[in-house]
A = this chain, B = another copy of it.
C-alpha cells in the first residue's frame, strides 16, 4: 500500500466513524473520556519508555532545550493530560442543543440544532499533550479526529493514541474516531491536506511556518491564526496604577505566547507621567523597550523603534512603545499593524471604552483587563482547541461549540408551499 493509499484509508475510516460518533449519547462519550484519563495514568511506564525514544533522538539531533522541554512526558505532564480529559468530560455536550426555535405563520415550527462538524484534522508540532487535548475535545463534540503530530514526537504520539483507541474500544466506540497519522514523512501531511472528501476542517497548531505550509497546501478549509500582535492602549484618563499592573501582566507573565502584549500605545496626555513609571517596572523584569520618537522624549535612554518593530511578534521580553495623539490614532495603528488577535484599552472614559470595543476589529477586544485573558479556558469556553483570527466559522478562541455547526429542523403537520 502506498503512502497516499494509507492516508486515504485513514480518511475513509474517519468519515465512517464520524457518522457513528454523531449519534453517541453524552454519557457514553464521557465514560470514554474518563476511561482515557485512567488508562493514561495507568500507562505512565509505557509512555515514559516511548517518550525516552523521542528524547534520545531529539538529543542526538541536538534540538533546542526548549523543544526537548516541550517534548518531555514526565509524570506531571501525564497527570495534566488526564485531568484535561476529565475536565472535558465535565463540560456540557454541545451536540443536540436546540440553539433557537420559532414558529412560522403557517404553523411550521423551525429550529436550529447543534451537530458535529464531522472529521477534524489537527496538524501540530512537538507537544505530545496536543494529541490528548485535541482528541478529547473532538470526541466530546461528536467528531472524529485525524491527528498529525511532529515527527520528533512520533513514539510518544503512537503510544498515546494506542491508549486512547483502546479506551474507545472498551466503551464500545469506534476506534477510528481517534486516528494518528503514523508516518513521519512530510509527504504524509501533504496527502492528509488533500482529503477534502474525508476531512471537514483542518486546524493547524504551531509556529507561523507550519501554519503557512498547511494553508498553502490544503484543499480543505483551514481555521488558523498566524500570530498574535497584541496591543494595549493606555488612554488619557486611565487609572495609571491599573494600567501599570495590566501592562506588566500582559508583557511579563508569559511572554512567549500569542496573547502577550507586543506593543504599548500611550496617549500623549499621560506619556510623560506613565512611561517613566512603566519603564521602571518593566526594566526590573528584564523587558527591553523600543520607542517611537515621541516615546524617546519621555524615555531618552531606550532604543529607538525601527519600522520593523510595529506589527512584530517578539514572543520575548521586548516591547515597542508608541505615543499617540488620541484614541483614533491608536485604533488606526491597531488596524494597520495588529493581527486581529487581542487588543485592550485602559481607560476611565465610558465613551472611549465603548468606542474601542466597537471600532477595533480584533477577535478579542478588552477594556481594563489583560490581553492574557484571550484564551478559551480564561474566557469561560471550558477548553480551547485553537484560535482563529479569520472571521469565517469562528473568530477568536475556539471551544467545543466551534467544533459544531447547526442544521435546520422543522416540525410540520402537512404544510406545503403555496
Stretch from A30-38, A53-61, A353-361 at the B interface: A353-361
Are A361 and B200 in touch, CB under 8 angstroms? no
Q: How many copies does the complex hold?
A: 2
Stretch from A127-135, A170-178, A373-381 at the B interface: A373-381
| A390 and B249 alpha carbons, distance in the complex (Å) | 41
Which A360-378 residues have C-beta < 8 A from chain B? 361-370, 372-374, 378
Which of B372, B394, B408 is within 8 Å of A363, CB to CB?
Answer: B408
| A102 and B379 alpha carbons, distance in the complex (Å) | 9
- A365: which B residues are within 8 A, CB to CB? 407-410
Residues of A within 8 A of B (CB): 19, 22-23, 96, 102, 104, 108, 110, 113, 115, 117-118, 200-201, 221, 239, 242, 245-246, 248-250, 253, 335, 353, 357-359, 361-370, 372-374, 378-380, 390-397, 405-417
Which of B108, B366, B416 is within 8 Å of A245, CB to CB?
Answer: B416
Which of B115, B393, B415 is within 8 Å of A361, CB to CB?
Answer: B115
Are A408 and B364 in touch, CB under 8 angstroms? yes
| A363 and B118 alpha carbons, distance in the complex (Å) | 13
Q: Which of A96, A115, A391 has the most C-beta atoms of chain B within 10 angstroms of its own C-beta?
A: A391
Are A362 and B407 in touch, CB under 8 angstroms? yes
Which of B117, B221, B395 is within 8 Å of A407, CB to CB?
Answer: B395
Given contacts A246-B416, A412-B366, contact A392 B361 (CB under 8 A): no
* Additional A-B contact list (14), CB under 8 Å, known A201-B392, A253-B416, A365-B407: A96-B358, A115-B391, A200-B390, A200-B392, A242-B413, A363-B408, A364-B410, A365-B410, A369-B410, A370-B416, A373-B410, A379-B410, A395-B407, A396-B407
Given contacts A117-B391, A335-B19, A379-B104, contact A409 B369 (CB under 8 A): no
Q: Which of A374, A390, A397 has the most C-beta atoms of chain B within 10 angstroms of its own C-beta?
A: A390
| A412 and B366 alpha carbons, distance in the complex (Å) | 7
| A413 and B238 alpha carbons, distance in the complex (Å) | 11
- A417: which B residues are within 8 A, CB to CB? 249, 253, 370, 372-373, 378
- A369: which B residues are within 8 A, CB to CB? 108, 410-412, 414-416
| A177 and B388 alpha carbons, distance in the complex (Å) | 25
| A208 and B364 alpha carbons, distance in the complex (Å) | 38
